[in-house]
Structure 1
Amino acid sequence: MRARWSLNARAAALGLFVTALLLGPAAAASATAPVTLGTGYVLDDVGVLTSDEISAAEADLAEFREESGLDLWVVFVDEFTDPSSSADWANQTALDNGLGPTQYLLAVATESRQFYLSGDSAGPVTDEHLGAIEQNATQPALADDNWLGAIDATAAGLGEAIGITTDGGTDGGGTDGGATSGGSSGFLPLLAVGAVVVAGFVLVGWVLLRKRKRPTGAGVEAPVVSTEELERQASAALVATDDAITTSTQELGFARAQFGDEATAEFEDALARARAAMTEAFGLQQSLDDEKPDTDASARAAYSRILELCAAANADLDAKAAAFDELRQLERNAPEALVRVEDERTKAAAAIEAADAALATLGTRYAPEAFATVADNPDQARARLEFATEQLAEAQRDVGAGRGGEAAIGIRAAEDAVDQARLLEKAIDDLTTNLAEGERQAAALVSELETDLATAASLPDPDGRIAAATLATRRGLDEARKLLVSPSRPLAALEALRAANEQIDAVIAGVRDAQARDERARQQLAQAMLQAQAQISAADDYITSRRGAVGATARTRLAEARASLAGAQQLQATDAAAALGQAGRAAQLAAEATSAAQRDVGAFDGGGLGGGFGGGSGSNSGSGMLGAMLGGVVLNSLLGGGGSRSSGGFGGLGGLGGFGGSSRGGSSRGGSFGGGRARPASFGGGGTRGRRGGGRF
């Protein structure tokens, strides 16, 4: 972008110039609440820019809008207050001023050295890109007190994110760290001899500015999005919204335990609506993933509907985010919350030895494949608790210093990490129970199959169909028996037995009357339901505790597995045969979900903080922060990362583009990010302004 003067920019410069002359040093701002944006793009409440620099920035940002269709507002204040969080302050300012999806706000607190780039995830620049812009463009310039350079670098980054290359912008590098040269005293003679002339220019400028139409995103024709880009956006939306629902569910559990069901009913209702929207969205994604080919038009319609559903789910959660924060009041109750979470962390740490012992017992009875989803759970739990310990220590320092908002960040992050550690520990016990029950039911099914084979042998077989089915069933039965020999794989054996059972049932069904067939299906249904529930539980625990690495494919399969199991449960009393088919589909989809999730975790690189996790092998649990990122306690994009997602269908973590609500939703709370300080999500949507970035400079 080239620095150039427009008539409006000249008028704005004159107005600001005279204001600075008249107010002088007394114009220094105090801690500032969210502000009302003026008619220009730059609001400098602390005087870090000269009038020439403001004019140049205004002209550049106007040109930037012409080139890109994006608006960038920039606000300089001394400190953020009401709220004190840089993210919440910037997001609230954007919301108060009605900024839309193509409109961005860079907020800078020059005294407290904080900043945040606020953008709506419904817009064209993803959260991942916004985080990269903050860290790679905005922050370096701010660190040098190069205020004008920060504006130019931020605009250039936004342009590059949507494929627009600007032509250089203002000469930000030419500023001397943002300090004004000469100050107002150099212009005092002008004020003394030409006050009337200057006042006349101010009046003209004010009239011109009043006539200027405020830039908005309206009327900017959006480029046609390719089907591939729609697919990427839908995949990212599914992941982010599913994470938002998971986090909101977890946070609601904390609140329900503290305040009871009645106080949290409105949040449960919002979650129920969000889950219903996501059930439809995952169903659409599953239909796109199946073997039936889709036309380009039908695929685009489905992806667009997924984005709409994700936006609706986020909007429902976002609408309750502020009320939820008010209910919990972590900022005001930080000391008490700190004690409570520390007690929970101690209990979770004490339970790790029992988890180690339970895992060792599994290793003596079952093949490694049977418990692969929990093989590294104790190590992962330790990583989460290490992270929780760090966050609680920092929160304790914040409480001592009277920084309730900062303390709330650490408390929330620690609380989430401790809860995930408990989930990881419990998953071992749950799998132990399911494997034992699987062994029992597999043994019963072996006996039933032997009876079926004997029945088939007594039937007439004029065309050899029964003999062929009997042979295939016998092979399946023999394979299942091998899987039941120690070290066994009971759930895999159940799957082999179920498949064998379908084969033999198909050939003898014709000689059974309807009542006998229904009774037979009822007998098989209990086993099929157990297998489906066990595999769904294992997949759910695995994905939830490693959701920072798991993409849309695994989540889609898991959601469809849950839906199929729910269908089986609804049908079991009226149509056992149909319920049996639904239960079998649920088990198959859950197994696919686990495999896809393990591939994603194996490819997870933690944004460069550590190597892959080996798909659940337990070979590399990572540091506390890396474990927190893997578990989704904090977002990888906050660290400028981009851990890979293999089956998820979108590049990098934190890619929240293409959807979102209108409020700050699950935005990060308070303070700066650095030195291990987490920005955990809270109750609220996965899109919207927030959930990422910012920091200190």
Structure 2
Amino acid sequence: MRKGWTTALTLSACALIAGVGASAAAATAPVQLGAGYILDDAGVMDSSGAAEAQERLEQLYADTGVDLYAVFVDEFTDPADSESWANTVAEQNGLGPSQYLLAVAVDSRQYYLSADSAGPLAEDQVVRIEADIRPDLSAEDYSGAVIAAADSMSAALGDDAGAPGAAPGGGSGFGTVLILAVVLGGIALVAWLFIRRRRAKAAPAPGGPGQAPVEQVPTEELRRRAASALVETDDAIKTSEQELGFARAQFGDEATAAFVEALAAARTDLDEAFSLQQKLDDGEPDTEEQVRAWNSRIVELCERANTRLDERAAEFDELRKLEQNAPEALARVQEARQRAAATVEPARERLAGLTEQYAPEALVTVADNPDQAADRLEFAAAELAEAQQALGGGDGGEAAVSIRAAEDAVAQAEQLSAAVDTLAVDLALAEKNATALIAELEQDVAAANALPDADGRLAAAVTAARQQIDTARGQLTGAKRPLAALQGLEAVDDQIDALIRAVRDEQSQAQRARQLLAQVMTQAHAQVRAAEDFITARRGAVGAEARTRLAEAGASLVRARQLEASDPQQALAQAQRAEQLAAQAIQSAQNDVGAFGGMGGGGMSGGGSGGMLGAVFGGIVLNSVLGGGRSSGGMGGLGGLGGLAGGMGGFGSTGGGRSRGRISPGSFGGGGTRGRRGGGRF
């Protein structure tokens, strides 16, 4: 299918390019593949070497049904890193799962083998192929590198014949017509390459791999890009925080200080990004210029946060090196899983007791926590069994992947169980505070009745306060809803206080704010904590809006603490804002979970999935499942969820992304650390 004319035309074109293309090295944007398997844009192969490489790749396809394309350029650009460049070429040329692309930049001495995760080669086989071709690349034997890749690929696919078959014939039967066609075709190809290269040089730099710069992006696309960046970066930071916790427990604070610093800086960038998103989401209208400026800044901050983490990712992996101490790590995680398993039934019993006291809506953030914790532990058990099997087979790398996933799942199980006790304490405290606030409101009502009320505003506030007091008392009896009662009481308390403050002196106002501030601060802290627990353990389903509300709630709570001593009134306003935003975060997160393909709640448990659905729900394997296209990693928003229910059968691939291998958990680092780290320099 790929012989005869194709081979002759490719070889003729290569010879012509070698003859006329002795120009200075040029950076090359992602290219369009030609009719053959070899595109020598750098002019590094002679005609005989190109012929031999082409024949070997044709034989590879005949023997295995797998295609391998090879592209040689001077330097990679738009994007400049080898992985993104190779994956972009594969995507733009429509390569399928059984089609691989070897990209080599001869001047910058970079290379990368782009592979679809759904293809016939496993990730370790792809890595082995890359290792097999490096000696030939280092020796600048580029046709030899292509042949070595084909031989290694044949061996990996079970075809050990390796050697190419007979050279394609038919060259002498075409005579003058064939020669003329080859020459004309070669001239046309050279002209096309010349025009394409000039266009590539003139093209503007993109805003990211395969993306236009933000100033050329429509506003709605810029909004989507910013929201996607927020979700991806928030997930990267949450995963990095958890991984850092494991490392600190294992190696101590001194050994992990640099990672703590990098994570803190990334968190600062993300907090600023969330603050900008909150400004975009509030009720105040924004100009087109503000919308574009703030969304562009969000993208910039998220990219910087990911870069901060990525710069330390390799060093962090070197520190942990789970594959080197896999037996010890396996034993440690097995013990941790046993401890976590012992907390599930007590949490279930505690939840049952809370159910007898409180209304369902008061317990919504922990209603399925024991089931979710059991799900995570089931997933951890399956991963630990795989790790044990891998160690028995001498595969420490595979064991490390399973241990890392189990470690993350166990930590989430512990968090889910602990959240039940935490909410129990918070509900009891809210009930106590609501009772105290009722007493204070009654005093406010009495005080308001004693004040002059020329326009009747105080009388209306008193009526509203009495109605809310009656409602709150009902919410504190039977199936209690103390958080709702407290929120309603605080609302009317704000109203009546605003009126009473008009007739009180400044000292009295500050004193009143201090009295109320402690209660509101406690409640705000409880609400923020409940939102954080709910979102973190279900981050696989939660989008940017809920995360933004939670981040801004935390920032308001910090500001409240800072102002507590110097300006209690402003501190009170910030604490109340934090409480309201946390409540909005919970509501938005619940909506996201409910929209998660019908898989929220108890439906995530069981089903013979080995806990995998729960792991996805908790974001443990989020980067692999939600990745779309051929990027090296990252979430890309929640758009990848559409095919989740129908495409998770074996949990073995993402269904078309060019990231490699099995579903695996996240590690320390930004969104860019979530793909395979392959290729390199030669």
TM above 0.5, yes or no, is yes
Please state whether the residue corresponding to 1:292 is helix, strand or coil: coil
Which residue is 2:270 aligned to?
A: 278
Which residue is 1:166 aligned to?
A: none
1:292 is aligned to 2:284: yes
Structure 2: distance between partners of 1:370 and 1:270: 38
* CA contact 1:388–1:418 (8 Å) conserved in 2: yes
Please state whether the residue corresponding to 1:229 is helix, strand or coil: helix
Which residue is 2:667 aligned to?
A: 682
Structure 2: distance between partners of 1:519 and 1:563: 25
1:10 is aligned to 2:10: no
Q: CA deviation at 1:612?
A: 2.8
Q: Could you tell me which of 220, 226, 229 is aligned with 2:203?
A: 220
Residue by residue over 1:170-214, the C-alpha shift from the partner in whole angstroms, topping out at 9 and shown as x without a partner, is: xxxxxxx99999625789x99xxxxxxxxxxxxxxxxx9xx9999
Which residue is 2:95 aligned to?
A: none
Q: Could you tell me which of 619, 628, 635 is aligned with 1:632?
A: 619
Structure 1: distance between partners of 2:68 and 2:333: 51
Could you say if the C-alpha distance between residues 502 and 110 of structure 1 is closer, same or farther in structure 2, counting changes exceeding 3 Å? closer
* CA contact 2:431–2:476 (8 Å) conserved in 1: yes
Q: CA deviation at 1:351?
A: 1.3
Q: CA deviation at 1:673?
A: 4.0
Q: CA deviation at 1:574?
A: 0.6
Structure 1: distance between partners of 2:88 and 2:533: 43
Could you say if the C-alpha distance between residues 75 and 493 of structure 1 is closer, same or farther in structure 2, counting changes exceeding 3 Å? closer
Could you say if the C-alpha distance between residues 58 and 408 of structure 1 is closer, same or farther in structure 2, counting changes exceeding 3 Å? closer
Could you say if the C-alpha distance between residues 59 and 361 of structure 1 is closer, same or farther in structure 2, counting changes exceeding 3 Å? closer
Residue by residue over 1:584-643, the C-alpha shift from the partner in whole angstroms, topping out at 9 and shown as x without a partner, is: 0000000000000001111112xxxxx331xx5x4543541100000000026537799x
Amino acid in structure 1 at the alignment position of 2:348: D
Structure 2: distance between partners of 1:71 and 1:309: 23
Q: Could you tell me which of 639, 644, 649 is aligned with 1:651?
A: 639
* CA contact 2:384–2:402 (8 Å) conserved in 1: yes
Structure 2: distance between partners of 1:302 and 1:48: 53
Which residue is 1:503 aligned to?
A: 495
Q: CA deviation at 1:497?
A: 1.0
1:257 is aligned to 2:249: yes
Structure 2: distance between partners of 1:563 and 1:270: 20
Structure 1: distance between partners of 2:345 and 2:312: 39
Please state whether the residue corresponding to 1:453 is helix, strand or coil: helix
Which residue is 2:440 aligned to?
A: 448
Which residues in structure 2 correspond to 1:544-559 (within 5 Å)?
Answer: 544-559=536-551
Which residues in structure 2 correspond to 1:392-431 (within 5 Å)?
Answer: 392-431=384-423
Taking structure 1 as the reference length, the TM-score comes to 0.69
Q: Could you tell me which of 232, 236, 256 is aligned with 2:228?
A: 236
Q: Could you tell me which of 371, 395, 410 is aligned with 1:379?
A: 371
Structure 2: distance between partners of 1:389 and 1:110: 26
Structure 2: distance between partners of 1:55 and 1:369: 57
Which residues in structure 2 correspond to 1:133-282 (within 5 Å)?
Answer: 183=165, 219-221=202-204, 222=206, 223=212, 224-282=216-274
Structure 2: distance between partners of 1:499 and 1:489: 16
Amino acid in structure 1 at the alignment position of 2:121: R
* CA contact 1:245–1:275 (8 Å) conserved in 2: yes
Amino acid in structure 1 at the alignment position of 2:672: G
Structure 1: distance between partners of 2:118 and 2:54: 8
* CA contact 1:380–1:627 (8 Å) conserved in 2: yes
Structure 1: distance between partners of 2:89 and 2:284: 52
Amino acid in structure 1 at the alignment position of 2:668: F
The alignment-based identity, stated in percent, is 54
Which residue is 1:621 aligned to?
A: 605
Amino acid in structure 2 at the alignment position of 1:389: A
Residue by residue over 1:232-286, the C-alpha shift from the partner in whole angstroms, topping out at 9 and shown as x without a partner, is: 1111110010000000000100111111111100000000100100111001101
Q: CA deviation at 1:50?
A: 3.4
Q: CA deviation at 1:93?
A: 9.1
Q: CA deviation at 1:688?
A: 5.5
Structure 2 unaligned spans of 5+: 20-40, 79-83, 91-100, 127-149, 154-158, 173-189, 207-211, 630-635, 644-658
Could you say if the C-alpha distance between residues 445 and 350 of structure 1 is closer, same or farther in structure 2, counting changes exceeding 3 Å? same
* CA contact 2:87–2:114 (8 Å) conserved in 1: yes
Q: CA deviation at 1:296?
A: 2.0
Please state whether the residue corresponding to 2:639 is helix, strand or coil: coil
Structure 2: distance between partners of 1:519 and 1:112: 72
Could you say if the C-alpha distance between residues 75 and 59 of structure 1 is closer, same or farther in structure 2, counting changes exceeding 3 Å? closer
Structure 2: distance between partners of 1:300 and 1:651: 22
Structure 1: distance between partners of 2:161 and 2:290: 57
* CA contact 2:379–2:615 (8 Å) conserved in 1: yes
1:106 is aligned to 2:94: no
Residue by residue over 1:505-557, the C-alpha shift from the partner in whole angstroms, topping out at 9 and shown as x without a partner, is: 11111221111111100010011111111110110000000000000000000
Please state whether the residue corresponding to 1:319 is helix, strand or coil: helix
* CA contact 2:340–2:410 (8 Å) conserved in 1: yes
Could you say if the C-alpha distance between residues 352 and 92 of structure 1 is closer, same or farther in structure 2, counting changes exceeding 3 Å? farther
Which residue is 2:28 aligned to?
A: none
Q: Which moved more, 1:475-484 or 1:626-635?
A: 475-484
* CA contact 1:376–1:621 (8 Å) conserved in 2: no
Amino acid in structure 1 at the alignment position of 2:236: A
Residue by residue over 1:306-334, the C-alpha shift from the partner in whole angstroms, topping out at 9 and shown as x without a partner, is: 01000000000000001111111101011
Please state whether the residue corresponding to 2:558 is helix, strand or coil: helix
Structure 2: distance between partners of 1:579 and 1:111: 57
Taking structure 2 as the reference length, the TM-score comes to 0.71
Q: CA deviation at 1:48?
A: 5.2
Could you say if the C-alpha distance between residues 93 and 474 of structure 1 is closer, same or farther in structure 2, counting changes exceeding 3 Å? farther
Residue by residue over 1:383-408, the C-alpha shift from the partner in whole angstroms, topping out at 9 and shown as x without a partner, is: 11111111111111111111111111
Q: CA deviation at 1:652?
A: 2.7
Could you say if the C-alpha distance between residues 428 and 182 of structure 1 is closer, same or farther in structure 2, counting changes exceeding 3 Å? closer
Could you say if the C-alpha distance between residues 321 and 463 of structure 1 is closer, same or farther in structure 2, counting changes exceeding 3 Å? same
Could you say if the C-alpha distance between residues 452 and 682 of structure 1 is closer, same or farther in structure 2, counting changes exceeding 3 Å? same
Q: CA deviation at 1:440?
A: 1.0
Could you say if the C-alpha distance between residues 387 and 538 of structure 1 is closer, same or farther in structure 2, counting changes exceeding 3 Å? same
Structure 1 unaligned spans of 5+: 16-36, 77-89, 119-146, 151-176, 191-207, 606-610, 643-647, 656-670
Could you say if the C-alpha distance between residues 46 and 352 of structure 1 is closer, same or farther in structure 2, counting changes exceeding 3 Å? farther
Could you say if the C-alpha distance between residues 39 and 681 of structure 1 is closer, same or farther in structure 2, counting changes exceeding 3 Å? farther
Which residue is 2:651 aligned to?
A: none
Please state whether the residue corresponding to 2:286 is helix, strand or coil: coil
Structure 2: distance between partners of 1:314 and 1:92: 26
Please state whether the residue corresponding to 2:259 is helix, strand or coil: helix
Q: Which moved more, 1:288-297 or 1:231-240?
A: 288-297
* CA contact 1:75–1:108 (8 Å) conserved in 2: no
Please state whether the residue corresponding to 1:531 is helix, strand or coil: helix
* CA contact 1:71–1:215 (8 Å) conserved in 2: no
Residue by residue over 1:410-463, the C-alpha shift from the partner in whole angstroms, topping out at 9 and shown as x without a partner, is: 000000000000000000010001011111111111111111111111112122
Instruction: Output the aligned Cα RMSD.
Output: 4.8
Could you say if the C-alpha distance between residues 45 and 579 of structure 1 is closer, same or farther in structure 2, counting changes exceeding 3 Å? farther
